[in-house]
Amino acid sequence: MKEIINFINSNTESFIEELKDLLRIQSISTLPEHKEDMEKAANFVAQKIKDAGIEKVEVYQTQGHPIVYAEWLGAPGKPTVLIYGHYDVQPADPIELWNTPPFEPTIKDGKIYARGATDDKGQMFVHIKSVESFFKTVGKLPVNVKFLIEGEEEIGSPNLYSFLKNNSKLLKCDAVLISDTSLWDEGVPTLTYGLRGISYMEIEVTGPNRDLHSGTYGGAVPNPINVLAEIISKLKDKNGRILIPGFYNDVLKLTKQEKENLKKLKYTEKEFSNSIGIKKSVGEKGYSLLERIWSRPTLDCNGIWGGFTGKGAKTIIPSKASAKISMRLVPNQNPKKIEKLFSDYIKKIAPDYVDVKISSIHGGSPFIAQLDKPIMKIAAKAMSLAFGKETVFMREGGSIPIVVEFAEKLKATPVLMGLGLDSENLHSPNEHFNLNHFRLGIISSAYFMEELSKI
Ligand code: BES
Ligand code: MN
Ligand code: MN
């Protein structure tokens, strides 16, 4: 391993230069005008995997954005690792809040700034470079390796589900290695063992058939913005409990052991509030901060619009108002079931003098890992060796909907070897990635393959 680690340490600079090229590609999956950039990013990733030393690389077209698949099966009798990641990124706006342009990667104080730096281009790239480091030193990998890099994670992976279903033989593996989550803290090796799921909904309320003069008509016309606000106000009570009937029915309670594990992770209200500039945290009564973020479901408006929002005043009663509402789900909630409960409740509480349209944008299931699997121990050891500290275990409030499919459809153990930090502004302006974590991530990935080959 010494030779491989030396190679990684002495080539980190050039690895970073290559990562910069990937970060320059504006692969924003949700925006149709970036379709070509999606192709470009997929081909770039495919080429980098080839350059790393894997010959069999394929770019699969889908109804949406391409999927990159690669495999090297030169270690017969050894386990197979599937490395999953995503090359798509979130939109960069609001652009004016970036200190440097989002698609011109800039290094400052050991961090690389760009959209996608930590989520997920930087983290995903780690594994391409660990593979390359094996090939360019010892000429082979200690285990069999497959890559599955998609371009639709940020929009709910609509085409990956069927790809998985139709290619279960191709994707057959023992473990799925994923770096798309966070470290507990800077320099602290971390494995994530739980992810929340999601149901993402949109509501559109329609009142009059056109915008109306608010003087001529005001006082006698249902205002869709007011109605929408009333609806939203009925979704939660003042103790932060979600009022949708049946919403909590399937929620798994934390085990005693988990509660104890949570207590061990020192995290204060102050630290949290200060880090994001809020006066104090809010949420469901009776649960600690980490419990609320990791193990309880939520309901939040993500966006709301309608009427006149330009500068100055325009006196109208709008025809329409809309809101995007997401619910984060926890084991054992089911996104389809929650969608239905949500729709039924909205229909029930909406007044009959407006039209309400409810649609689902995307959904994904929550995930919880079995910590006693040998592969988890190997992953913990690998990270500890790389970071020089004991690995901690945490859950995550965010979602990676496809993870549960790896466990259920491929019967493989997902290993969430995250390398980001929650403070690295993923989905926000000035996203960045700690370059020391990038290097230590490559070493962790290499150790993982090495240790896995020993069982
Ligand atoms: N990498 C994130 C998940 C994540 C978020 C990990 C926060 C660690 C900390 C992933 O790319 C993501 O953003 N997922 C979406 C999924 C959604 C679009 C279905 C999310 O959680 O909003
Ligand atoms: Mn991600
Ligand atoms: Mn993301």
Domain ranges of the chain: 2-195+366-452, 197-257+294-364
- Give the model's pLDDT for residue 170: 98
CA-CA distances (angstroms) from residue 369 to 84, 284, 365, 414?
16, 25, 13, 8
User: Do residues 198 and 399 touch, judged by C-beta distance below 8 A?
Assistant: yes
211 flagged as catalytic: no
Ligand 1 atom nearest residue 399's Cα: 21
The whole-angstrom separation of Cα 112 and Cα 123 is 12
CB 67 within 8 A of CB 402: no
CA-CA distance, 386 to 116, in Å (whole number)?
24
How many Cα atoms within 13 Å fall on the side-chain side of residue 36? 1
If one residue of 399, 403, 431 were mutated to test the ligand 1 pocket, choosing by the most ligand atoms within 8 A of its CB, it would be 399
Kindly state if the Cβ of 154 falls inside 6 Å of ligand 1: yes
Position 269 scores a pLDDT of 93
- Look at residue 380 and give its three-state secondary structure: helix
What pTM, to 2 d.p., does this model score? 0.94
Query: How big is the CA angle at 364 (ends 82 and 79), to the nearest 5 degrees?
Result: 15
Residues 318, 326 contacting (CB under 8 angstroms): no
Mapped onto helix, strand or coil, the DSSP state of residue 343 is helix
DSSP states of 233-262: HTSB-TTS-B-STTTTTTPPPPPHHHHHHH
Contacts of 231 (CB under 8 A, 6+ apart): 203, 205, 346, 349, 350, 356
Predicted pLDDT of residue 262? 86
The verdict on the CB of residue 424 being under 6 Å from ligand 1 is no
Contact status, residue 337 vs residue 240, Cβ threshold 8 Å: no
Ligand 2 centre from 418 Cα, in Å?
10
Cα gap 454→8, rounded to integer Å:
22
- 3-state SS class at 385: helix
- Which residue's structure tokens are 């709301």? 304
Tokens coding 376: 């988890």
Q: Does the beta carbon of 105 lie inside 6 Å of ligand 1?
A: no
For the chain, the maximum distance between any two Cα atoms, rounded to a whole number of angstroms, is: 81
Q: Please tell me the number of the ligand nearest to residue 398's CA.
A: 1
In angstroms, the CA 120 to CA 24 distance is 14
What does the pLDDT look like over 390-441, one tens digit per residue? 999 999 999 999 999 999 999 999 999 999 999 999 999 999 999 999 999 9
Closest CA to ligand 1's atom 8: 181
The catalytic position among 37, 71, 88, 422 is 88
DSSP E strand boundaries for 87-196 = 106-108, 111-113, 144-150, 175-178, 190-195
Residues in the chain predicted with pLDDT less than 70, given as ranges, are none
Active site residue 88: yes
* SS3 category, 73: coil
Instruction: Measure the CA–CA gap between 339 and 334, rounded to whole angstroms.
Output: 9
pLDDT score of 265: 86
268 Cβ contact partners less than 8 Å away, ≥ 6 residues apart = none
Query: Is the Cα torsion angle 120, 43, 105, 33 positive or negative in sign?
Result: negative
Nearest residue (by CA) to ligand 1, atom 4, is 398
**CATH class belonging to 197-257+294-364:** alpha beta
Amino acid at 141: L
Backbone angles phi, psi at 453, to 5 degrees: -70, -15
* DSSP designation for 420: B
The total of other beta-carbon atoms located within 10 Å of residue 273's CB is: 14
Pick the CATH number of 2-195+366-452 from 3.20.20.80, 3.40.50.300, 3.40.630.10, 3.40.30.10: 3.40.630.10
Question: Cβ(116)–Cβ(23) under 8 Å?
Answer: yes
Amino acid at 64: G
How many Å apart are CA 436 and CA 387, to the nearest integer?
A: 10
Angstrom distance (rounded) from CA 364 to CA 328 = 9
Closest residue by CA, ligand 1 atom 19: 156
Phi and psi dihedrals of 51, rounded to 5?
A: -60, -30
Catalytic residue among 120, 132, 153, 450: 153
> Which tokens in the block code for residue 282?
């809010």
Closest by CA to 177, choosing from 45, 86, 88, 81, is 81
- Ligand nearest, relative to CA of residue 394: 1
The percent helix, strand, coil of the chain (3-state, each to 5) is: 35, 20, 40
| 90 Cα to the center of ligand 1, angstroms | 10
SS3 203: strand
> Which residues, listed in sequence order, are joined to residue 433 by a DSSP beta bridge?
112
Distance, in Å, from the CA atom of 49 to the CA atom of 18, rounded to the nearest integer, reads 12
